[in-house]
Amino acid sequence: MRKRVLITGGCGFIGHHVVEHFLLNTDYEISIIDKLNYASFGLDRLRSIPCDRDPRVKVFTADLSYPLSQGLKQELGDVNTIIHMAAESHVDNSIKEPRVFFQNNINGTVEMLEYARELDSLENFFYFSTDEVYGYAPDGVDYKEWDRHKPTNPYSAAKSAAENICIAYENTYKIPIMSVNVMNAFGQRQHVEKFIPMTIKNVLQGNKVLIHSYPNKERAGSRFYIHARNIAQAVLFLMNEGEIGEKYNIVGEKEVDNLELAQFISEVVGKPLNYEMVDFHSKRPGHDLRYSLCGEKMNSIGWEIPVGFEEALTKTIEWTLENQRWLEEK
């Protein structure tokens, strides 16, 4: 019998890459629950991947901050794996409307855990968290999975709370949970509000690119970027190799500061970079200049990044140049 996988947030950016990767590399039956808000682009992402009409995929619309209906539970059937990715994820929006983030990201996780408690068929439950739960990482610091959280904005606070609730459910109710902390994702069909597609658009149009920097405006902030398909492969790997009750950091190949990233994009696009270094914290309160996670645990169980950063980024830029409708505001 085919494994049944439920992916919440499967119409979102990382979510639809996970759906595509699973369909291309497994025989799983996949159910998607998505709120279809602005970040999901409706069904546009699913319609744009090669397997959008695959009969193994079912899509349901629901607000996960409320209990699943009995009718939806019957449609889902005997689920073997839950990959809980649905979340409000824009930090700036969390600063403007923190209650929305707490309601969706915390309540939504609790409702999925309550649903999981009813499933005798459940083999694993993946909770998708973020590098931001650990807060700012000083130079030389790479946080390990069980290091203490220190969230600095409502988004990361909500994700931290939900992550700890998952730990409590695993301990109390023996839900087969694994948590993954993911670093900055990029790839095809990403929302233009994110740095990489935003920079592609601004370079194309000759607009100024704002590079968030340290107060002296001489050093840019940095991130470990990772392509969403690499994240999808890591989840599939953990379904076979991961240990219930553990956390795993899914880490980018190397650290890149945002000025270097913008310069790389400019070279691939073939247009000059017009940029300005801006004091990060005065422009974006609640954000941190550097996040960093240690990827040793994943490496120790045999995972390797399938596609390197520069290759993945080049392909993403070239694809975006050929599909510029994804640079439009939705």
Catalytic residues: 131-132, 155
Assess contact for 64 and 33: CB atoms under 8 A: yes
Exposed, middle or buried, 218 (CB in 10 Å: 0-12/13-18/19+)?
A: exposed
User: Residue 196 and residue 147: Cα distance in Å, rounded?
Assistant: 29
User: How far apart, in Å, are the Cα atoms of 78 and each of 8, 10, 25, 74, 214?
Assistant: 16, 19, 21, 9, 51
Reduced to 3 states, what is the DSSP secondary structure of residue 16?
helix
- The CA radius of gyration of the chain, in Å to the nearest whole number, is 19
In this structure, what are the phi and psi dihedrals at residue 241, rounded to the nearest 5 degrees?
-115, -15
Q: Where are the alpha helices (DSSP H) in 180-323?
A: 195-205, 228-241, 258-269, 280-283, 296-300, 309-322
CA dihedral 115, 117, 118, 120 (to 10 degrees): 130
Compute the distance between CA of residue 97 and CA of residue 104 in angstroms, rounded to an integer. Answer: 11
Cβ atoms of 173 and 310 within 8 Å: the answer is: no
Are 175 and 124 a contacting pair, CB within 8 Å? no
Return left, alpha or beta for 23; rule: phi > 0 is left, psi -120 to 50 is alpha, else beta.
Answer: alpha
